[in-house]
Amino acid sequence: MVALTLRLLASAAVVCFIRAAEDLSRTVSLSNDASSGIVEAFRAAAAHCPLSPAIELIGEKWTILILRGSMSGLRHFEEFQASLGIARNILSNRLVRLVQAGVLERRRDPVDRRRIIYELTAMGADLLPTLVALRQWSEKWLAGPSRMILADKRSGKPLQELVARDHAGRAVSPADLTWVDAEVPQKAPVRTSAAASAAQSLAADYS
């Protein structure tokens, strides 16, 4: 009797194990489908993301430092070269690129017509929040607090920390974001998928 009971228990355990393995296999399959769906959705959204051309234009050390200098009042080639310690050929190349892109304007100095000045356009001035955000991020995570702070000329007070906010003014984190097709009236999230929901539900049953 004992031996029979043990055999029955063993058989039941095997059946339970097989069923669990089958359920787990289905969960993994759905998870893989969900992962594939998220990747495809991201690729489709990223194909329309405007970040890439911006990085191609300004996502390089010397370009960022030239923009910082321009926002700090540097205007002449010699001023940029002396302040940044940048090679003349590299400086010339970066200035030409920024002028061609419309970020800087190249014109004769009204005080001395023999000299050329480089000034921010409206397009270039719009990069101020980007540079401020990078500086604040570096102070927080890399370089630490700086002795020299960015302040408003009118008050002498430091700038507030820049934070990404939603349409209602609430601060958002990466977990709060999703891709949305601006041409779809119902604003349907691109990343939503039935496979992802099913995988999450099944995964919760085994957690």
- Each residue's pLDDT tens digit, 83-129: 999 999 999 999 999 999 999 999 999 999 999 999 999 999 999 99
Question: Pick the residue with more confidence: 124 or 47?
Answer: 124
Name the token pair of 129: 């929040």
Name the token pair of 81: 């070269």
Question: Pick the residue with more confidence: 144 or 31?
Answer: 144
CA gap 48, 65 in Å, rounded? 28
CA gap 60, 155 in Å, rounded? 32
Model pLDDT, residue 2: 40
- Break the chain into its structural domains and give their ranges: 2-49+177-205, 52-126
The upper half-sphere exposure of residue 174, i.e. CA atoms within 13 Å in the direction of its Cβ, equals 0
CATH number of 52-126: 1.10.10.10
H-only helix segments in the chain: 2-46, 51-58, 61-71, 77-84, 88-101, 122-125, 128-141, 194-205
Question: Pick the residue with more confidence: 187 or 90?
Answer: 90
Query: Residues of the chain with pLDDT > 70: what percent?
Result: 73
Question: Which residue do the tokens 């001023």 mark?
Answer: 79
Q: What is the average pLDDT across 179-184?
A: 82
- Phi, psi (deg, nearest 5) at residue 146: -100, 145
Q: Is the pTM of this model over 0.85?
A: no
The DSSP bridge pattern shows strands 104-108 and 116-120 to be: antiparallel
pLDDT surpassing 60 at residue 203: no
**Under a CB-based contact definition with an 8 Å cutoff, are residues 113 and 72 in contact?**
no
